[in-house]
Amino acid sequence: GNSVTQMEGPVTLSEEAFLTINCTYTATGYPSLFWYVQYPGEGLQLLLKATKADDKGSNKGFEATYRKETTSFHLEKGSVQVSDSAVYFCALRGGSQGNLIFGKGTKLSVKP
């Protein structure tokens, strides 16, 4: 079945550091890929998405590229801020019913 694997957290960075959170997937067919973010006390919100190979999703300085050859969708940001502290979930939508399947989440803490 479809699945998502993302790097274990927590990840602790200093402000302005470079961020990478790795995500790989297993899926049949051609899934769409997503990154969701969950700030403390809030629900999950869409951060960015890509719907086909080589697409790059971007939002708020975050980027991720859909790499079919490596089945990956790594999240990157060149310079993180304290306000980026949150839990980040990689997800895919695929299969006959288009269910949204999540990874375990990676907690990011950014220190001033």
Partner 1 sequence: DAMVIQNPRYQVTQFGKPVTLSCSQTLNHNVMYWYQQKSSQAPKLLFHYYDKDFNNEADTPDNFQSRRPNTSFCFLDIRSPGLGDAAMYLCATSRDRGGGTEAFFGQGTRLTVV
Binding residues for partner 1, per CB under 8 A? 4, 32, 34, 36, 41-46, 49-51, 89, 93, 97-105
Nearer to partner 1 by Cβ, of 27 and 105: the residue is 105
CB of 97 to partner 1, least distance (A): 6
Is the separation of the CB atoms in 91 and 100 below 8 Å? yes
Rounded distance between C-alpha atoms, residue 81 and residue 87, angstroms: 14
Rounded distance between C-alpha atoms, residue 95 and residue 97, angstroms: 5
Chain centroid to Cα 84, Å, comes to 13
Rounded distance between C-alpha atoms, residue 47 and residue 58, angstroms: 8
CB of 63 to partner 1, least distance (A): 16
CB of 11 to partner 1, least distance (A): 14
Nearer to partner 1 by Cβ, of 62 and 89: the residue is 89
DSSP one-letter code for 7: -
CB of 42 to partner 1, least distance (A): 6
Element (H, E) at 50: strand 44-50
Nearer to partner 1 by Cβ, of 2 and 17: the residue is 2
Nearer to partner 1 by Cβ, of 6 and 19: the residue is 6
